[in-house]
Every structure is written in C-alpha cells, then in structure tokens.
Amino acid sequence: MNPEQQMEQRGSQWSITVFEEEYFQGKCCHFTMECQNILDRDFRKIRSIKVENGPWVGYEYPEYQGQQFVLEKGDYPCYQAWSGNSSYRTEHLLSFRPIHCAKHSDSKVSLYECEDFQGRKFELCDDYPSLQAMGWCSKEVPSIKVNSGAWVAYQFPGYRGYQYILERDRREGEYRNYNEFGTQAHTNQIQSIRRIQH
C-alpha cells in the first residue's frame, strides 16, 4: 500500500462535518483530518457539528487552545449538545482534531494522589461517574498516566464541568500535574472519568 492509499484509508476512519450556524444551517465543510483554525476556511465559527466517524476533540480557540470538548459519533445541533452539563459556556468552536488512540474495549488509566506520579495509585479500566464513590478520597487528581486508550475526565461527578481529554498517544500518556490536562485547566479537581467511545 503506497503512502497516498494509507492516508486515504486512515482518513476514512475520521469524518466530521461542521456548520457555521446552529441546527446544521449556514456554511458547512467536511473534514477527515484536523483543523487548527476554522477561521482560515473563511468560517466565523462552528455552531453545530455532525460526527460521522471516529471520536474528535473540539476547542474553543484556534491552535487547540481553551476549553476542550469530546465529540463522539452523533449530531451536535447546538453548543449544549457538546458542552453537556458543563458549567463553562462555549457557544462555538474554532479548532478540532481526531482522537486516534481511542480503544474503548482496551483502555487503562492510573490516577495518583500526588503530582509526578507519586503517592497512592488507582488503576481504572472502566467508566466512573463518581471517583469518590469508588473509593478515591479526594476531589482532586494531581497526576494521571494513560496506559492505553483515550479518556475524558470531568471536574464534577456525573460527567459534568470542565472536560479534559487524556490520550495515550499524546505526551506519552503522562500528565504530571493539572497544567498538562489542557490549556484551560485551572485546578486538579477531577471527580468523574470515562473511556472515549470509538
């Protein structure tokens, strides 16, 4: 298989259509790979999304900056659909990229009670709507190591609040402190976590 065929085959695993207005109205564009800045495509913003294939992560600012939102297969007619129960309101997105390492059936993550992978360690292979209910004694998770797959961690129980996309194939899966969770991370508070669907 030549490189062009490999690229085409890889691209078919990732498919997303973005719209400038809510409810799939206005200008639209289809992508099979990342977009660092939708403004470069003469868009003003992204207000609705259809994910046809593969999981993606969308960002509120260009260059993958700001609040991040996991975008799994399905329709997102308005910002409430991607922000869910987030306490942070982002009415549009400006950049997005595929999540290549999501393997829902083979995902493993380790949570640590201190920064730099120190202190007590919890290994997880499943979704947890409440980390405290499963025995984690704190509202905070100072460091995380993704052993396999991709995860989305949430600030509050029940998959609410800020979202942090944690991937094995980025940063070698190592998040030594909360600053590495994402550019919008202002705290190490994580109270629920789940595997990203693929």
In this structure, the dihedral spanned by the alpha carbons of residues 109, 112, 117 and 123, taken in order and rounded to 10 degrees, is -30
State in Å, rounded, how far the first CA of the chain is from the last one: 25
Which CATH superfamily is 108-195 part of?
Crystallins (2.60.20.10)
Give the bridge partners for 69, in sequence order.
Answer: 58
Q: Do domains 12-98 and 108-195 have the same CATH topology?
A: yes
> What are the backbone angles phi and psi of residue 74, rounded to the nearest 5°?
145, -175
Listed by start position, the domains of the chain span: 12-98, 108-195
CATH number of 12-98: 2.60.20.10
| pLDDT tens across the length of the chain (198 residues) | 444 444 444 446 899 999 999 999 999 999 999 999 999 999 999 999 999 999 999 999 999 999 999 999 999 999 999 987 666 678 899 999 999 887 777 899 999 999 999 999 999 999 999 999 989 989 999 999 999 999 999 999 999 989 999 999 888 999 999 999 988 888 899 999 999 987
